[in-house]
């Protein structure tokens, strides 16, 4: 089972605020913490002490802290790739290499004396990981995570993301990616328009971003990149992450009846395996509600994302629940009872035949 994570930036906030946020995150089931030590300005000892205090708090809460570091900083800190005592003393669970070495160093670092995890950048799109693997690393200590992108429109596209991720899943390595809080206001740099890995996630509700990664099935750990997510967002992310089935948000049609809503929102649905290009079919409702009356109403033409119930005119199909995958004419035998929320319409592309799902009223 993967883990949820949050990010803290001690140089850009106070210990009190970071500590309170970590307590809230831990209470909502978050296990990972990302922090960034990409540059040290001013008093080095003071900066390191500030990080150590926050990391100690996270450790006390049972969380695992990954410290993002630029190799240029190794020299400033007097750290060498073959001696990671500095990070052990800092209390870090692992070190994320924002920029890598040659492959040999990363492999050597996975064999450190302290069991410190080495997390490498998955967003490079090169055969970097193949190079590291050729030096026989300790796979238990090797992880991957995507970058986050503070500049609007600079985040990763889906096709590139999938290709880059596959290089890591092919080796069965732990993967991570970042999502964006809409309530958070800062990251490691002065300017940020959110901190997500996938550009398509930037303006989406946090639960929708989590659902997408779970449906992709290739990302283990999901980390909120910016600080601080709201209490409601932490709760929503945890609920989406731990839900036994994906839950799609549906806007009911104003004409939808109480029976229509019961079919949609009070039943477990299953995507029928013999899949159609036009309809995602959930057929059990027609069995359960075989003796109920589904009079024709709102029998308008159908568009992608419409939620449908076959009415009395469809004979033995009466009461079957469907989601439209593309536009279709309506001959009067199908009631259009709702629509997948616009934020989550894209998730239809990731639901797979035979998978279970639920619907909730948006």
Helix axes 231-242, 206-216, angle to 10 degrees: 20
**How close are the terminal C-alpha atoms of the chain, in Å?**
28
Q: Judge if 331 and 296 occupy the same domain.
A: yes
Q: Evaluate if residue 28 carries a pLDDT over 80.
A: yes
pLDDT at 304 over 80: yes
Residues 214 and 350 in one domain: no
Q: What's the structural domain count of the chain?
A: 2
Which pLDDT score is estimated for 183? 98
Which of 197, 216, 243 delimits the end of a domain? 243
Return the pLDDT at 24.
98
Residue (of 229, 233, 238, 240) closest to 6 by Cα position = 229
CATH code of residue 340: 2.40.100.10
Can you give the C-alpha Rg of the chain in angstroms?
24
Looking at the predicted structure, is the pLDDT value of residue 311 above 80? Answer: yes
pLDDT at 39 over 90: no
Please state, for a pLDDT cut of 70, what percent of the chain lies above it.
Answer: 100
Task: Report the pLDDT averaged over residues 84-97.
Answer: 96
pTM recorded for the entire structure:
0.97
343 pLDDT above the threshold of 90:
yes
- Whether 328 and 182 map to the same domain: the answer is no
On whether both 96 and 186 belong to a single domain, the answer is yes
Report pLDDT for 84: 94
Q: How far is CA 72 from the centre of its chain?
A: 30
Report pLDDT for 148.
Answer: 97
Assigned token pair, 339: 């629509």
What is the C-alpha to C-alpha distance for residues 133 and 137, in angstroms, rounded to an integer? 6
| Residues whose CB is less than 8 angstroms from the CB of residue 204 and which lie 6 or more positions away in sequence, other chains included | 180, 343
pLDDT for 323:
98
Lowest mean pLDDT among 35-44, 218-227, 321-330: 35-44
Can you read off the two tokens belonging to residue 164? 């880059």
pLDDT digits (tens, 9 = 90+) for 198-224: 999 999 999 999 999 999 999 999 999
Q: Does residue 189 or residue 320 have the better pLDDT?
A: 320
Residue 38 confidence (pLDDT) above 90: no
Bridge partners of 306? 339
The per-residue pLDDT for 178 is: 98
Give the CATH number for residue 193: 3.20.20.70
Mean pLDDT of 185-208: 96
Three-class SS of residue 3? Answer: coil
Residues 216, 176 within the same domain: yes
Last residue of a domain, one of 210, 243, 276: 243
At 317, list the tokens.
Answer: 């199909």
What are the pLDDT digits (tens) for 253-303? 999 999 999 999 999 999 999 999 999 999 999 999 999 999 999 999 999
% of the chain surpassing 90 pLDDT:
91
Tokens of 129: 């990981």
Model pLDDT for residues 98-134, shown as the tens digit of each residue? 888 899 999 999 999 999 999 999 999 899 999 999 9
Helices (H) and strands (E) in the chain, counts: 11, 15
Q: How many CB atoms lie within 10 A of CB 150?
A: 20
Please tell me the predicted confidence (pLDDT) of residue 130: 97
CA 292 to each of CA 47, 268, 309: distance values in angstroms, whole numbers, following the listed order: 68, 18, 12
Range of the domain at 276: 248-361
Residue 337: pLDDT band (50, 70, 90) is very high
226 and 260 together in one domain: no
* Cβ–Cβ < 8 Å for 358, 269: yes
Euclidean distance between CA atoms 126 and 124, whole angstroms? 5
């Amino acid at each position: 089972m993967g883990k949820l994570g949050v990010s803290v930036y001690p140089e850009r906030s106070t210990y009190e605020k970071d500590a309170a946020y970590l307590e809230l995150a831990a209470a909502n089931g978050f296990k990972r913490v990302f922090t960034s030590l990409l540059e040290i300005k001013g008093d080095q000892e003071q900066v390191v002490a500030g990080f150590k205090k926050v990391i100690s708090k996270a450790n006390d809460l049972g969380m695992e802290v990954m410290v993002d570091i630029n190799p240029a900083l190794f020299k400033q800190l007097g750290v060498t790739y073959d001696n990671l005592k500095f990070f052990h003393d800092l209390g870090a669970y692992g070190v994320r290499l924002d920029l890598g070495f040659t492959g040999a160093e990363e492999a050597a670092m996975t064999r450190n004396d302290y069991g410190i995890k080495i997390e490498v950048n998955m967003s490079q799109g090169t055969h970097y990981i193949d190079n590291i693997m050729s030096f026989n690393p300790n796979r238990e200590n090797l992880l991957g995570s995507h970058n986050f992108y503070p500049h609007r429109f600079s985040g990763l596209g889906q096709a590139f993301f999938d290709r880059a991720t596959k290089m890591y899943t092919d080796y069965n390595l732990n993967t991570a990616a970042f999502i964006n809080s809409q309530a958070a206001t800062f990251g490691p740099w002065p300017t940020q328009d959110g901190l997500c890995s996938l550009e398509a996630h930037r303006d989406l509700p946090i639960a929708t971003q989590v659902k997408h990664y779970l449906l992709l099935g290739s990302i283990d750990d999901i980390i909120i990149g910016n600080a601080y997510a709201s209490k409601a967002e932490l709760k929503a992310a945890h609920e989406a992450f731990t839900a036994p089935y994906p839950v799609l948000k549906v806007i009911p049609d104003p004409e939808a009846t109480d029976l229509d809503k019961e079919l949609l929102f009070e039943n477990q649905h299953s995507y029928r395996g013999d899949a159609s290009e036009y309809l995602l079919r959930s057929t059990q409702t027609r069995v359960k509600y075989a003796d109920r009356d589904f009079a024709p109403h709102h029998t308008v033409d159908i568009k992608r994302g419409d939620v449908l119930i076959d009415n009395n005119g469809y004979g033995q199909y009466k009461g079957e629940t469907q989601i439209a995958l593309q536009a279709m004419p309506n001959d009067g035998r199908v009631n259009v009872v709702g629509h997948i929320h616009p934020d989550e319409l894209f998730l239809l592309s990731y639901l797979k035949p035979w998978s279970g799902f639920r619907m909730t009223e948006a």
